[in-house]
Amino acid sequence: MEEQNLSEKMRHLSTTATYEKHPIKILKEIRDQLEIIPNYLIKQNISFKKSMHQVLSSMITAATTENSNKNVNSIDELRKIAILLYKIMVIQTYQYLWETYFKSGTGQLMIPSETKQKLFYSTTLSIWPKEIKTIALSNKKDKTNENEICLKFTNGHLYALKNQLKEYQQELNIKANNYPGYTLSIQEIIKTYIEENLNASLYKKIQHQVALIHYDYHIRALKLEYLRHKPNEYQVCFFFF
């Protein structure tokens, strides 16, 4: 057991070292999402202003009054913090998607104990989603080991997302520590505001993609189970078409 654990750790270290030496870039779709500042975080947005004033009013400061310049600067700094929180939440949302890709490809998508109804096919099959296979195999001449290629590709992107998340979190910590009166309760107010808007856009899209991964997994697992019974040509045509 100890040898197995050691082997897994060594493999993880080897994989990590490979990604550090040859870092994988986050997909353009995710980079674009991170670079675009949504409307609800622009300075002129009424809801954003209202939320930031709510934050400022909840802060206890030593001074009894603040001049307008300080107030503007405070909102600008809070906006920078809000943008970082937005980026962190975007990364975490995409991590959820890519972890689902990983689970599907490694046979961990379905947890038997959590399955409400009895299924007549295996739920531990390694089935890589079509999106992953399309991208991962697109520039590969040798596609004999699809599983390994897809696994390496997915692990690489999970590692890239983890690294990017770490960078944003470090940047957030610096800004939060340098902002007088900043607390976790203030951060929660900002996060709640972002969540309300993010849930209406990106998160819904990712939830839909995850649902499709689950649906596709079931369909393909069912097909594999059917083929395992060696149907004749007519039966195959009837089942698949």
**What average pLDDT values come out for the chain (241 residues) when binned by 10 residues?**
42 45 68 91 92 79 44 79 96 96 92 61 84 88 86 94 96 93 90 90 92 90 67 54 47
CA distance 58 to 217: 48
User: Which pLDDT does position 7 carry in this prediction?
Assistant: 44
Region of 230 on the Ramachandran plot (φ > 0 left; ψ -120 to 50 alpha; else beta): left
CA distance 206 to 106: 20
Helix/strand/coil percent split, the chain, to 5 = 75, 0, 25
User: Which pLDDT does position 114 carry in this prediction?
Assistant: 57
User: Which pLDDT does position 138 carry in this prediction?
Assistant: 86
Q: What are the angstrom distances between the C-alpha of 180 and each of 60, 66, 71? A: 9, 13, 13
**Letter for the amino acid at 107?**
G
Q: Specify whether the CB–CB gap between 26 and 164 falls below 8 A.
A: yes
User: Which pLDDT does position 159 carry in this prediction?
Assistant: 94
User: Which pLDDT does position 58 carry in this prediction?
Assistant: 74
CA distance 183 to 176: 8
Q: Specify whether the CB–CB gap between 203 and 93 falls below 8 A.
A: yes
User: Which pLDDT does position 121 carry in this prediction?
Assistant: 67
Single out the residue of 89, 109, 106 nearest to residue 206, CA to CA. 89
CA distance 203 to 192: 14
CA distance 128 to 148: 11
Locate 7 and state its tokens: 């082997």
CA distance 125 to 219: 12
User: Which pLDDT does position 26 carry in this prediction?
Assistant: 72
Q: Specify whether the CB–CB gap between 64 and 174 falls below 8 A.
A: no
CA distance 73 to 171: 19
Which pairs from 27-36 meet CB under 8 Å and 24+ separation? 27/135, 27/157, 30/90, 30/91, 30/94, 30/161, 33/90, 33/94, 33/202, 34/87, 34/90, 34/91, 34/164
User: Which pLDDT does position 3 carry in this prediction?
Assistant: 43
pTM of the model: 0.78
